[in-house]
Structure 1
Amino acid sequence: MAAANRSSPVVVGLAGLLLLAGAAAAGRPVRALLVAPLATPLGLSALAFLAWCGISLAWSPLPGLSLRTLSEFLPALLGAYLVARLAPPHLAAVAGPSAWILVATCLYVVADLASGLVIREALGQRVAAFAFNRPLLTMMLLVLPLAALLAARGRRGLAALCLAAFAVAAWRSVSGATVLGLATGALTFCALRWLPARAGIGLAGAALLGALVLSPVEGDLLARAMPDALHQRLAASSTRARVAIARSFGAAVAEDPWRGAGYGTSGRFQDAPVAERLEPDLRVMLAVGHPHNSFLQVWAELGFVGAALAALVLVLALRSLGRWPALARSTALALLAAAGIVAFVEHGAWQAWWTAGVGAAIAWLRALALAGDLAPSASPVAEKP
């Protein structure tokens, strides 16, 4: 990703196919590993959400855009699923090399940023500091479970080095979302590490469900709550524009709250019929490509039904963590918090690079749970879709 920041879907897709071929050649129960989890309540809920995404194409005013978005998202999702299901038993053996690759990547990012991006220029790549935002966000997803797995296997020094190298790279970058995600994940891990399982899961669930429920009114709430002085201090983060975007998409949700405008329509939401029913000053920001809030994007494109299904998937996923070992559970909740806060302020919901990164992170989480002597046959690890 640091060398080519759109490469994660290809890497994860290829890894998934190789893992599938290897599992079949080794005689592993591939059907049980891939199909059985989809028959659980969590798997069925995830499939229902995906089905609603497909059904919404029936009323999408931009069917070409919807299909193109789906054609990018589904292959990345399939590759992520294959990796998350098939890779975990093998990851502990390569945790050390993976950590050194991550550290080296962080050093490369820091060095190139410090040099004014001369390495990117020499390689003929786009010379812009924000070009490292995607690889840094991908590493943010991976560093927490990787460091936890290293620590669980007694390699605390290397785990600390990974976290330190990534923290330096994140701080040196222009990606505020990466810093925010890392800080949120670290604080969540420290806060929940010693709490009872139910309390930790309840707090994390309340925060994530609150973000989902409040996202349609986020813009109005922030417009009332944020003073001009705070906007001026956060000018580099374009907070005024973000509030305006959230207000515009929130108004669109209010105009069509039940079914939404259709999957993938955020790319040209200004051309959707619902936009014509909004006041002129609210239409301008609909042309930005997506609401910079994945929770709000689900509401705008898939309506109340899509949001309810997403909430159900979230609740069932959180419930499945109840029987995980303490370290794996705390790491999973920290990762959910980090990914959730980034999804609340940053990218589009269906971007393939993010989907691939989440799948890789889930694979490392499941490897961590397996390292904690969690028996796959009797645990929610084997059920995670």
Structure 2
Amino acid sequence: MVTVKDRIAAMTGCFAAGAMVVGSKAAAIVLAIWAVIMLACVIRQRSDWTRLWADLLAPSVPVALFLAFATLSASSALWAHAPDAALKSGALLGMVIILGCVLRLGLDRLSPHGAMLVAGWFVIGLVGGCLLLFAELYSNFGIFRWAMATFPDIRPPKNSMIVVKGQDVNLIHRAFANWSVAGLNLLTWPSLLILSAAVARRWRVAACLALIAVSLAVTFTSDHETSKIAVGLSAVVFAISLRAGAKTRSAAILTIVALVLSVVPLAQIAYSRLELQNAAWAQFTLKERFKIWGNVSENVWKAPVLGIGANNTTIEHTQKLKPSNRTWPSHHPHNMVLQIWLELGAAGAALLIAAAALSVTGVGRLHPSAISFGFATLAMAAVQSMATWNLWHEWIQSMFMMSFCILMLGNRVVTDQAAGLSAAFSKIWLPERLRHVLSKRSV
């Protein structure tokens, strides 16, 4: 019914979920570890390797487009001022995509009971990581400060969010948890999809509400305003798609096209005409964003077709793209769509539109019970990518990929449950011998 390899895959998934939340900056390493272990768990014969390579060489169209995007990024080294940065960024993105494909293949090859077991333990790991993260936020990183004081070797190098004086860790800024909060929110909707099928019907609503409560507690205890906005918008998208179902995909595709095509002029208008960077209602970090976006939007037109090269924004700001008296330079654009326009030009934007539109189409083809969760996950990812960080951070790429893989796993669990192929998680989570012993004692 459930094999030892299934349990190994499940325990690894439990660890991966917790590690993704607590240590999101190491997401690429966690993704690689789980992908390799999943591969080892599902490969039973030498002939399986032949089928594996065949599957890897025949990816879905959206995956192929994202790989083309990674190829364009690496190729931009030919015209970039910092070719090493462009080549490295494209190669890392391609590697993350391939790792995600390997993990997806491993999850797809699980038996129905194995898939249910892995999915259930993943959610348990996510909840455990979420509770630990909440404890850290509530105690001002008490565990982390104790660990750094006790083991000085694990202290990170110079960091603006951590103040160390002598042997004491005096201060850790709450924004230090922002990466983890974003990672948690990217995995919340796929985990809710899993709970909607893995938990017995009488406990289903309570389990989902408990996960929502813990996730919201972490999000609104943190300082990550983008995640708070993303939670609200994704909930709205979830509610709309519950009513509209697969019809939501047409509106989603039109929204994607409109956002990608209008983001540059909108950033210019917000900065130059409306001067929102001076708005009294805007939070300080939001004012900074308006300045950054204004600077990026002005510089897009210097290389509108192929851009200045992947991950070359910093180099360009310091060497060539001198800001005018109305702009403000930054180490990265804090908007991945604007960043694509600046660094990969219209070619990168076209690939982004095509890949995103096909991804939306794929979500519309999920099991009817999974469609709303899929659109909510896409909305969460869209908001996170439009206001935070750097496209070339491998940790955020890995979080997006992990979110996609868990969404597909949730769809698999829902489909198997609907077809009567898998038992509920509560009936298979314990080893059969232990379950037999416990049932004897209860009698």
How does the TM-score come out when normalised to structure 2?
A: 0.76
Q: Which residue of 2 aligns with 1:310?
A: 352
Measured at CA, do residues 363 and 4 of structure 1 come closer, stay the same or move farther in structure 2, by a change above 3 Å? closer
Q: Which residue of 1 aligns with 2:258?
A: 210
For 1:176-191, list aligned pairs within 5 A. 176-191=225-240
Q: 1:63 aligns with which of 83, 89, 111?
A: 83
Measured at CA, do residues 52 and 315 of structure 1 come closer, stay the same or move farther in structure 2, by a change above 3 Å? same
Q: 1:142 aligns with which of 187, 200, 215?
A: 187
Q: 2:141 aligns with which of 117, 122, 137?
A: 117
Measured at CA, do residues 267 and 13 of structure 1 come closer, stay the same or move farther in structure 2, by a change above 3 Å? farther
Measured at CA, do residues 309 and 5 of structure 1 come closer, stay the same or move farther in structure 2, by a change above 3 Å? closer
- Counting matched residue pairs gives 365
Cα-to-partner distance string for 1:132-172 (whole Å, 9 max, x where unaligned): 11111111111111111111234422222111101111010
1:370 aligns with 2:415: no
Q: Do 1:13 and 1:78's aligned partners in 2 also have CA atoms closer than 8 Å?
A: no
Q: Which residue of 1 aligns with 2:209?
A: 160
Q: Which residue of 2 aligns with 1:98?
A: 122
Corresponding letter in the other structure for 2:301:
A
C-alpha separation in 2, matches of 1:374 and 1:319: 22
Q: Which residue of 2 aligns with 1:31?
A: 53
Q: Rg larger in 1 or in 2?
A: 2
Q: Secondary structure at the match of 1:327?
A: coil
1:348 aligns with 2:390: yes
Measured at CA, do residues 107 and 372 of structure 1 come closer, stay the same or move farther in structure 2, by a change above 3 Å? closer
1:131 aligns with 2:179: no
Q: 2:220 aligns with which of 171, 174, 192?
A: 171
Q: Do 2:296 and 2:338's aligned partners in 1 also have CA atoms closer than 8 Å?
A: yes
C-alpha separation in 2, matches of 1:326 and 1:336: 16
Cα-to-partner distance string for 1:168-222 (whole Å, 9 max, x where unaligned): 110101111221222221111111112041x300122222222211221232232
C-alpha separation in 1, matches of 2:83 and 2:311: 9
Cα-to-partner distance string for 1:315-346 (whole Å, 9 max, x where unaligned): 22222233222222211111111110111011
Corresponding letter in the other structure for 1:25:
R
Cα-to-partner distance string for 1:210-264 (whole Å, 9 max, x where unaligned): 22112212322323346678x323324x222211111111111122211100111
Offset, 1:366: 1.0
Measured at CA, do residues 368 and 226 of structure 1 come closer, stay the same or move farther in structure 2, by a change above 3 Å? farther
C-alpha separation in 2, matches of 1:347 and 1:147: 26
Q: Do 2:181 and 2:219's aligned partners in 1 also have CA atoms closer than 8 Å?
A: yes
1:249 aligns with 2:296: yes
Measured at CA, do residues 369 and 184 of structure 1 come closer, stay the same or move farther in structure 2, by a change above 3 Å? same
1:267 aligns with 2:314: yes
1:240 aligns with 2:259: no
Measured at CA, do residues 5 and 357 of structure 1 come closer, stay the same or move farther in structure 2, by a change above 3 Å? closer
> Which runs of 5 or more structure 1 residues have no equivalent in the other structure?
376-385
Offset, 1:2: 5.0
Measured at CA, do residues 217 and 228 of structure 1 come closer, stay the same or move farther in structure 2, by a change above 3 Å? closer
Offset, 1:71: 4.8
Q: Which has a greater percent of helix?
A: 1
Offset, 1:69: 3.0
Q: Which residue of 2 aligns with 1:194?
A: 243
Q: Which structure exhibits the higher relative contact order, with contacts defined as CA atoms closer than 8 Å and separated by 6 or more residues?
A: 1
C-alpha separation in 1, matches of 2:338 and 2:354: 16
C-alpha separation in 1, matches of 2:79 and 2:371: 40
Q: 1:6 aligns with which of 15, 19, 25?
A: 25
Q: Which residue of 2 aligns with 1:77?
A: 97
Q: Do 1:83 and 1:359's aligned partners in 2 also have CA atoms closer than 8 Å?
A: no
> Which runs of 5 or more structure 2 residues have no equivalent in the other structure?
1-19, 149-154, 156-161, 163-171, 418-443
C-alpha separation in 2, matches of 1:189 and 1:302: 32
Offset, 1:67: 3.1
C-alpha separation in 2, matches of 1:54 and 1:71: 6
Q: Which residue of 2 aligns with 1:381?
A: none
Q: Which residue of 1 aligns with 2:74?
A: 54
Q: Do 1:297 and 1:349's aligned partners in 2 also have CA atoms closer than 8 Å?
A: yes
Q: Do 2:276 and 2:287's aligned partners in 1 also have CA atoms closer than 8 Å?
A: no
Cα-to-partner distance string for 1:32-61 (whole Å, 9 max, x where unaligned): 332222xx5434423322222122110011
C-alpha separation in 2, matches of 1:19 and 1:113: 32
C-alpha separation in 2, matches of 1:81 and 1:123: 36
Q: Do 2:256 and 2:357's aligned partners in 1 also have CA atoms closer than 8 Å?
A: no
Measured at CA, do residues 228 and 271 of structure 1 come closer, stay the same or move farther in structure 2, by a change above 3 Å? closer
Q: Do 2:28 and 2:96's aligned partners in 1 also have CA atoms closer than 8 Å?
A: yes
C-alpha separation in 2, matches of 1:66 and 1:281: 28
Measured at CA, do residues 109 and 326 of structure 1 come closer, stay the same or move farther in structure 2, by a change above 3 Å? same
Offset, 1:104: 2.4
Q: Do 2:193 and 2:410's aligned partners in 1 also have CA atoms closer than 8 Å?
A: yes
C-alpha separation in 1, matches of 2:362 and 2:133: 36
How does the TM-score come out when normalised to structure 1?
A: 0.87
C-alpha separation in 2, matches of 1:4 and 1:99: 16
Q: Do 1:33 and 1:86's aligned partners in 2 also have CA atoms closer than 8 Å?
A: no
Stretch moving more, 40-49 or 314-323: 40-49
Corresponding letter in the other structure for 1:57:
A
Measured at CA, do residues 267 and 240 of structure 1 come closer, stay the same or move farther in structure 2, by a change above 3 Å? same
